Amino acid sequence: MAKKRRPQTKAAAPRATTGDIPVVGAREPCPCGSGRRYKACHGREAAHAVTELVQRPFEGLPGECDWVALRELVPAATVELNLADGLPEGVPSVTLATVLPMAWPALRRDNGAVLIGLQNDTPSGDISRDLADTLRRALTAEPGTPVSAERAPGDGPRLQDLLDPKGGFTPTLHEGFEFWLEDAANASGEVAASLERANAAAIPTARLAGVDAAYWCETPEKNHLRWVMAHPEEKLLDALARLHAAGASSLGENTRLVGSFRAHGLTVPVWDLPKGMPAEDTEKPAQELAERLAEALADGTPLTPEQRRARGGLTNRQVTLS
């Protein structure tokens, strides 16, 4: 049976401009007084404005490629962050973490230190703005409390506004998530259970020292190298195709370039490695490949038919994560 149509009525016009409207929950009445829910009124405009910023949310931050890697590839890592205005009184440190217990967006320890989780779902299309809002709220949270997820104002600051552009970005990788707690050995309750689950699911991962943003990982079937690169995508794919057609795209015997994926506006080529190839044995081949890639990137000649076929194969195996 067909549903009855409701009589069409003209919605009340909003009574204020978007800039004057406070941010509320998506299903709450819009504060403009239109009678519609926020998500169907001024929230729609705010969400659209934020979505337009999403292409490269970490662009302009020190270590953009590592930000992407920690967001998408690395299970357990931390980075000490430097704020543009320095640390507030009572906050001894601010640390970015891949994941926090029970997927908290942020946590303020008893001693006032702040931890921010990077791999959480974010309520808008701009991860940078969402994380900046979480960071600001964490800096003033009560010590010893987690910080909840909230909708960030559409015109609020981004990480690029809050972090020191000269502060550097050096990830520290961990085998497990004991960094969550000041005394992990005495953890109990939900936090202890969350820690146990997270440690059991963590894939062994290492960051190569000789090249930027290249991450080795070990899986049950084989090892991999996933290398986040900031080169323009089309130019990078051309360069990889040149190497692939010349038989120079591998990292040594029984290794191969298997494709790439996109993440937060950057391209991440992926290599399969033999199960017995550890991270330290990947260092020299990766440095040598980086030299070959630099030469290929500088080559501006048109691709040959063989190189175009190689490029088509790479493109067909490309996926987008975000």
Series of mean pLDDT values for 10-residue runs along the chain (322 residues): 39 41 68 78 61 78 98 97 97 97 92 96 90 97 94 90 95 94 73 84 95 96 96 97 97 95 96 96 98 98 97 87 68
Domain membership of residue 49 (yes or no) is no
**Side chain identity at residue 33, one-letter code:** G
Of 57, 64, 25, 53, give the one whose Cα is nearest residue 41: 25
CA dihedral sign of residues 40, 56, 136, 172: positive
Question: Of the residues 148, 171, 201, which one is the last residue of a structural domain?
Answer: 201
The rounded distance, in Å, linking the Cα atoms of 215 and 187 is 30
pLDDT of residue 53: 53
pLDDT of residue 164: 97
Instruction: Clarify whether residues 211 and 137 are in a common domain.
Output: no
Of 307, 321, 102, give the one whose Cα is nearest residue 191: 102
The rounded distance, in Å, linking the Cα atoms of 271 and 145 is 42
Q: Is the CB of residue 290 less than 8 Å from the CB of residue 217?
A: no
Q: At what angle do helices 305-316 and 233-245 cross, to 10 degrees?
A: 120
Q: Is the CB of residue 31 less than 8 Å from the CB of residue 22?
A: yes
Instruction: Clarify whether residues 211 and 285 are in a common domain.
Output: yes
Instruction: Clarify whether residues 73 and 197 are in a common domain.
Output: yes
Q: How is residue 237 written in tokens?
A: 């794919």
Domain membership of residue 27 (yes or no) is no
Please give the residue range of the domain that contains residue 287. Answer: 205-320
Residues in the chain: 322
pLDDT of residue 20: 55
Q: Say what the alpha-carbon torsion angle 100, 84, 55, 256 is, to the nearest 10 degrees.
A: -60
- The CATH number of whichever domain residue 240 belongs to comes to 3.30.1460
- The neighbour count for residue 274, using CB atoms within 10 Å, is 12
Instruction: Clarify whether residues 192 and 232 are in a common domain.
Output: no
Domain membership of residue 313 (yes or no) is yes
